[in-house]
Structure 1
Amino acid sequence: MLVDSHCHLDRIDLAPYDGDLGAAVAAAQARGVERILCIGIDMSNAPTVVEIAERFDNIYASVGVHPLDISDQLCTEDELLQRADHPKVVAIGETGLDYYYSGDNREQQMASFAGHLRASAQCGKPVIVHTRNAREDTLELIKEHSDPKVAGVLHCFTESWEMASAAMDMGYFISFSGIITFKNAAELREVVAQVPMERLLVETDSPYLAPVPYRGKKNEPKNVVEVAQCVADIKGLSYQEVVEQTTRNFDRLFF
């Protein structure tokens, strides 16, 4: 029973399924992807991801504001806690820092991220972290505001082993996407090799970052199979071992 631990079901291309999200979910299940975590990126899509989770027994949701979707009016901790108070909402986020695309609002990003971390600690639901070109600030804010007993996950990880190790020391999991299958991702595959299986998750981040052999196409949850297979190849494990361990990790973190 494989889990896609991070995707955006409200954004995937449903044209191949005649607009039927249920058919896309069934296509994932046909490949053994039994559970899916649908991620919120701002307060406007929070009702949508929660509604999707309510429709399907095997889908869960998160609520939060992506660092690239921050507005002048920051989401308050109370708003996050109110949105997170739902049985199908299992996480806060995605949140975090992205200085690659937007470095001119660092203070806003940091304030938003800190608020998400505090909300996570208060409600006891883990935080889903997006981080790009912001290693020091990301780790410092986690150290200052995160509850290590709740912790969270650095999703779609593309950073260094040193950052992964520091995050794991603070209780965090590391999640890898289809990027690890790309030809130019040799250094990242070395990080995959070092992350203990007990702290590793797999995801699609669909509709983005389709793994090889689908690179360049729109991604969807069923393609997390290729990510799990790549992890198995890197670590010299069977595919089933990766499936079983990443599913256990998902349950440990979110339930």
Structure 2
Amino acid sequence: MKPFDTHAHLYDKAFNRDREEVIARILDRLDHVVIPSENYETSLQAVHLAETYGPLYAAAGIHPQETKYATEEILQKIADLIESSPKVRAVGEIGLDYHYLYSDKETQKVWFARQIELAKDLDLPFLIHDREAHGDTLAILKEHKGKNMRGIMHCFSGSRETAEELMKLGFFISFAGPLVFPNSRRLKEAARDIPLDHLLIETDSPYLTPPPHRGQRNEPANVIYVAEEIARLKEIPVETVIEQTRKNAMQIYGIEA
């Protein structure tokens, strides 16, 4: 059984020099990888990679930092792209980012809500980016909840209590490299306590490289370190973590074995 990296930006320019080698390592060491998008252009790139390599899948959407450029025309182009390719398995990544505020908060909220409704209309999960916006993220999710609303809290950075609220709303909780950082006490507590059948693993490549490769570019093959940390925290075999998180990922993305 091989790991499933649920979130890696393989179109990023950080991979321009050796993308083929990175993908070769994916094909050797991983089961699947999902490539999220930030705007229409990167959605096209993600879909191209997913359609080129069988184990790769894509998500298409407008990142909160890109929402200042969003229009209904662009969103319709993304919707058309999603419907045109069976390799697109989610809307995303979407959400709120209050750290940099490249787009103002109200603009982010509008397009987060708009894309939640798009995902519901398409009956697809969506990938949530939530940075320093836990309260507003939960409030918007609760406002738009429905029987087919589901998805992934990508690169979880909240508390056990926040995770509880998300799981009640039908979301999986995905951990990335920061879980492995030595000083990530709150994240480690959350990962230890969240039921394994609600957990996912990811790299968010090329960002957030876990030890022992801190300071280097991240890549999907490093997702094993996240799985190993969850296994250590839960005191279970790493094979159990890999198998269950893979099963969870296949379920939420609607990928058949």
Q: TM-score, length-normalised on structure 2?
A: 0.93
Task: Give 1:156 deviation, angstroms.
Answer: 0.3
**Which consecutive unaligned segments of at least 5 residues does structure 1 have?**
none
Call closer, same or farther: CA 1:6–1:122 in 2, change over 3 Å: same
Fraction of identical pairs, as percent: 34
Residues 159-168 or 196-205, more deviating: 159-168
Verify: 1:10 aligned to 2:8, yes or no. no
AA at the equivalent of 2:111: S
Call closer, same or farther: CA 1:73–1:252 in 2, change over 3 Å: closer
AA at the equivalent of 2:55: N
C-alpha separation in 1, matches of 2:208 and 2:111: 25
Which residue of the partner structure matches residue 208 of structure 1? 207
Task: Give 1:72 deviation, angstroms.
Answer: 4.2
Task: Give 1:21 deviation, angstroms.
Answer: 2.5
Task: Give 1:3 deviation, angstroms.
Answer: 0.4
Which residue of the partner structure matches residue 49 of structure 1? 46
Which residue of the partner structure matches residue 28 of structure 1? 26
Question: Once superposed, what is the RMSD of the aligned Cα atoms?
Answer: 1.6
Which residue of the partner structure matches residue 125 of structure 1? 124
What SS does structure 1 have at the residue aligned with 2:6? strand
**Number of aligned positions between the proteins:** 251
Instruction: Give per-residue Cα distances to partners, 1:7-59, cap 9 Å, x unaligned.
Output: 000116347xxx342321221333x3121001111112111110000100000
Q: Is contact 1:164–1:174 with CA below 8 Å preserved after alignment?
A: yes
Task: Give 1:104 deviation, angstroms.
Answer: 6.6
Which residue of the partner structure matches residue 65 of structure 2? 68
C-alpha separation in 2, matches of 1:136 and 1:23: 41
Q: Is contact 1:12–1:206 with CA below 8 Å preserved after alignment?
A: no
- The 4+ residue runs of structure 1 with deviation greater than 6 A are none
Verify: 1:149 aligned to 2:141, yes or no. no
**Which consecutive unaligned segments of at least 5 residues does structure 2 have?**
none
Instruction: Give per-residue Cα distances to partners, 1:137-196, cap 9 Å, x unaligned.
Output: 111111122434340010000111111110100000000001001111011100101111
AA at the equivalent of 1:29: L
AA at the equivalent of 1:64: G
C-alpha separation in 2, matches of 1:90 and 1:29: 19
Residues 21-30 or 245-254, more deviating: 21-30
What SS does structure 2 have at the residue aligned with 1:226? helix
Which residue of the partner structure matches residue 234 of structure 1? 233
C-alpha separation in 2, matches of 1:20 and 1:132: 30
